[in-house]
Structure 1
Amino acid sequence: MNVTWQPSHPFIERPEQWPGAVLAVHQTLYRQVMAQDPLCNDKLPIELRACRILEQWQVMLLVTPWMLSRLLLPLSPPEITLPNGWSAEEREDADYRVLGPRLEFDLLGQRQSAHLNYHRRLGHYLLQPLILNMAEFDSVENVFEAWNRVIRTRDDNMEKMRRDCPWQKEVSRRELFRGLRGNS
C-alpha cells in the first residue's frame, strides 16, 4: 500500500501560519498528554526559534518541556514513502508518539534522518530530536546555550578534520618509518 503524505489542515493556508499552529498543537499536547510525564521539565515553556524555509521544508527549532527538536514541515508532499500504519487515517485517533519511525531524506545535498510524526492539524512532518533530557535546564536560554556548545564542538571537530590532510599523514608516516629503517 502506498501511503501518501497528508498536508497540513486547510485552516493553515500559508507557511507563515505554521509556527503559530505548531505552538498551539504542542501546547495542547503538553496539557493533554505530556504534563503527566515525570521526565517533563515544567520550568520550560514551549517556544519556537529559527523558523525558515530550506528547499521544500519549513524548518524550525522547537523547545518543549520534554525535548529540543528540529521540525521539518513539507511545503508540498515530499517523495518519501511513509511506512505502513502511518497514513493520516491510521494516525487520526492514535496516541501521540514523541518519536515515530525513522526516515531518511536529502536536504541541502546531504543525507538526513528524522522521525516521522503526524498530527491532524499539522499533517505529516519530520522531527529531529536534538536534546531529549530537559531535566537540567531552568530556562530556554540554557537549552540554547547547551545546543550552541554542541554546535561549536561539532564545528571545531569539522575544522580539525579539514586540517587533517591525508597527504600530510602519509608524508609524516613515511618520515617516521624511515627513521626506523635507517636512512634510505
Structure 2
Amino acid sequence: MEESKKFFTTSEAAEKLNVHARTVRKWIDAFSDYIRPELNKRGHYLLTESGLKALRDVQEQLKTGKKTLKQVREDLVKSGRWPSRQNPSTSPTVQNELQTVTVRLKNVERVQQQILEILEELQSGTEAVRKKQDQLKLEIRNATFQQRLEAAGDTGKTKRKRDGVLRLSQLFR
C-alpha cells in the first residue's frame, strides 16, 4: 500500500465547505500559519486533511460567533491552537539595534548641549567685544574733541604733536 498525502485544491476545499474558492483563498491568506498550505509548481495552494480541518474550524468560528478574521485569529491564539507570532520589537536583534540607537541619540544630545554652551560663550564674548569697541570709540571721540580744543586754544603747539594724536585717532575709526 502506497503512503501518499491526500491534497485538496482550493476549489475542492471550497466544495467541501460550501463556500466560494475566493473565500478559501482569503482564509488561507489570513491564517496561513494555522492552515499551513503547500504550493504546487504553478503556485496554487494545496491543502492537507489537517489544513482542511483548520479551514473548517475557521469557518465555524466565523459563522457561529459572527466574528471578524482578526477576532478569530485572536481566539485561536488564546486557545493555543495557533502560536502567536513573536513580537518583532522583542527580538534580540531589534533590542541590540534599539540600544545602539539609544546610545547614539544620547551622544548626539550631549554634543548638542556642548554646542549650545559654546554658542552662549561666543555670544557673551561677542557682546564684550562690542562693549569694548563702543568704549574705545567714545575715548577716541573724547581725545579728538580734547585735541581740537587744545588746537583752538593753543595754536603754538607743534604740528608733529597734532599729527601723532590724529594718527592715533585714525587707527581706531
| TM-score over 0.5 (shorter chain) | no
Is the radius of gyration larger for structure 1 or structure 2? 2
Structure 1 or 2: more helix by fraction: 2
TM-score by length of 1: 0.27
Structure 1 or 2: more strand by fraction: 1
